[in-house]
Structure 1
Amino acid sequence: MTDCDLCGRGIPTVIPVRVNPPLLKFAYPEGVWKGLCETCLDSAQKVHMGNDKNELSCRKGKCALCQEKGRVFAVEIQIPDFSQGVVKKDKTLCSRCLKAVDESYIKYKREEIGGHGHGHEHEHEQSKH
């Protein structure tokens, strides 16, 4: 079991999103992996697609994934709560993390539709013929 880095929900697997925290850019120049549940990934994807980087919808704050301070966008997440079921709360993400979420979303959906998208199944079928 692992936890979603936005809502904290414990699930068997998370969807990896590569972010670039400014404080770790020298130690990890390629970025670090954060894990999101499908619900948080969908919510962040909707914000990315809906905003089109609209300056009116952003505000100053700190990104929940990379901790960078600057312009951020509010993403509504659903936090599991034993007494109330689900609590909706806003977390803020910067435009770079929203772009990383978009890339992970596209890859995740391709793999989901194409049977994990690795291409090994097709190679094996072609070698039989």
Structure 2
Amino acid sequence: MTDCDLCGKGIPAVIPVRTYPPLLRFAYPEGVWKGLCETCLDSAQKTYLEVNRNHTSCRRGKCSLCGSKTGVFSVELQIPDFSKGIVRKDVDVCYRCLKLVDEAYVRFKKAQIDEEGRIHGHEHVHPHH
């Protein structure tokens, strides 16, 4: 089990998102992996699309993924709570991390589609003429 780096939910596997924490840029120039659950990945990707579509303005804050103190956007999380059901909470994520989340989202969805094709036996279907 591992925990989502945004909502803290414990799940068997997380979806990797590369981030570039400014305090670690010399120690880890290739970035640091953060893990998100599918719900948080979807929420952050939705925010990324809205920011690009509506040219949403950012506000100054600290990114919940990389720790940068920069312009951030609010991402609404849906955190499971045993006593309250689903609790909504906003976290701040910078544009750079939102863009990296979008790339991870595309990779994740492509892998899901590829996996579904294999499960249903469509991996090597070639029409015979």
CA distance in 2, matches of 1:93, 1:87: 19
CA distance in 1, matches of 2:19, 2:116: 23
| Equivalent residue, structure 2, for 1:23 | 23
Q: Is the 8 A contact 2:50 2:56 kept in 1?
A: no
| Equivalent residue, structure 2, for 1:108 | 108
CA shift, 1:107, in A, is 0.3
Deviations 1:17-68 (A, max 9, x none): 0000000000000000000000000000001011118252x11100000000
- Count residues in correspondence: 120
| Equivalent residue, structure 1, for 2:120 | none
Aligned residue runs from structure 1 range 43-122, under 5 A: 43-52=43-52, 54-56=55-57, 58-115=58-115
Give, as a single letter, the amino acid of the residue that structure 2 aligns with 1:42: D
Deviations 1:68-105 (A, max 9, x none): 00100000001222210111000010001001100100
- Tell me how large the CA RMSD over aligned residues is: 1.9
TM-score (norm 1): 0.86
4+ aligned runs moved over 3 Å, structure 1: none
**Secondary structure of residue in 2 paired with 1:114:** helix
CA distance in 2, matches of 1:21, 1:86: 30
CA distance in 2, matches of 1:10, 1:97: 22
TM-score (norm 2): 0.86
CA distance in 1, matches of 2:23, 2:36: 21
Aligned residue runs from structure 1 range 5-44, under 5 A: 5-44=5-44
Q: 1:116 to 1:22 in 2, by over 3 A?
A: farther
**Secondary structure of residue in 1 paired with 2:71:** strand
